[in-house]
Structure 1
Amino acid sequence: MKRIEYFLLLGLLSLCITSCDDLFEFHPNQIRLESHERDLTAKSLARLQQQQPGDTLRILVMGDTQRFYDEAVDFVKHANTFENIDFVIHQGDISDFGMTQEHKWVHDIMKDLKWPYLTVVGNHDLLANGSKVYQQMYGPLNYSFTYGHTKFVFVDTNSREYGFNGKVPDISWLTGELYQRENENFSQAIVVSHVPPHDGDFDRNLEEAYHDVLKSSRRVNLSLFGHIHNWQTSTRYNDNIVYHGTTTVKKRGFTYLKVWANGFDIKTIDY
């Protein structure tokens, strides 16, 4: 090869590496996000702050999208036929393998919703490099916000992914969120998680403490979860706290939840 051809080839390779960087994925666990794909939880909460909540909140709850992209697209189309929805909750397992591209594909579908959507982290979202992906794309693994008369507490309950280390879920953090502070004003709280406390992927040593926090706060009547890929509604601990599980989008179902001061109504929707 002539010297001029050699340097021309090097130049073309350099140009491709610098200008075509976004066209190639060099490793499945790399994190490559555009600015509009970052801090999505904060952006959704900012949209919520611009809305005026009514006496009755209307929320759609879905989840476990994993690789069920066609079903997720159909969910968005059906969800957008509803009126006066405040926001949508994704119950976790956004991805199947915790990869960046999976999260991006699902967000590319969910961004077509007419309303803000908020997520709780699922066990599949923590696989591989997933914890970093989730936190960069969405935000904290544990967070809360108050909307109208209700506080919503989103908590990481994926104990198995942490080796049942006794720290997940974070009982101390949860306790602090459910007890009203001086600058907070809410009449009730709804706890949102991926894995429910009665599931084998939840730390058995923390199950009783977790439910006791919800009960002793005297503000929680409803806890939402996903993970089981089926419908499930029960009061499992001989009190009035309802644990409601929403099925996976693979089975083409979601929950239509209405919430008013100290009350709620649950409808399961097939699409």
Structure 2
Amino acid sequence: MMTIKTAMILAAGLGTRMRPITETRPKPLVEVAGKPLIAYSLEALNRLGIERVVVNVHYLAPMLVDWLAAWPGPEIRVVDETAALLDSGGGIVNALPDLGADPFLVLNADTFWLEEPGAQRDNLSMMADRFDPESMDMQLMTARLDQATGHTGGGDFTYEADGRLARYKGAGDAVIYAGAIILHPRIFDGITEKKFSLNRCFDAAAGAGRLFGTPMRGHWLTVGTPEAIGEAEAARSAYLGEPLSGSSGAGR
């Protein structure tokens, strides 16, 4: 199993579709089942034993910085993007001095997943076990469409026989990119723009035959609108077999 020591949580988005909730709090602090979205990511990283977490911030940054300062666990370094948003790829490159030269994890702050009850290993440890820096530049956690709540688009990728991923073009079994990546920072070599999307790196890795996937176990949730909070809470309760608390993050 590869030891992953650092991780980044992409938390600098504006959360415009989550208004009016995000008028008073950044999206990563919107609560689902009584817990801020970003806490689900931090808990997953804690389970893997990550030593340093880097979080980029932009909208209502001081509120998120204060919340992160109180989080118990590994070292958290904040990268301030309040001057200008750098998109998903640029945000990571901006944080590379804190992430190091070895492969690291990247998580989205507005998606999370429920581990499969009774599973002997969680999803991030399965990814770390499968990541091979000799043959891979990027490994994505993927979910089937029937494993997802809140996803409004179609599929993103299809699997090839050896675990490589190719862009979904309408044929084959589509899977969703489920907001978790292990990547080698060499994927950014030669990119000079400060602002760019990770999609560019997905395509480069796929074109080189170095984009792989790990199918997740459990249930994946993405929360993009106020209405999606209740849907996520209901899906969580149904999946885990727990009663719905009746309290939504929308009012707090």
TM over 0.5: no
State the structure with bigger RCO (CA 8 A, min sep 6), 1 or 2.
2
Normalised by the length of structure 1, the TM-score is: 0.28
Larger radius of gyration: 1
Normalised by the length of structure 2, the TM-score is: 0.30
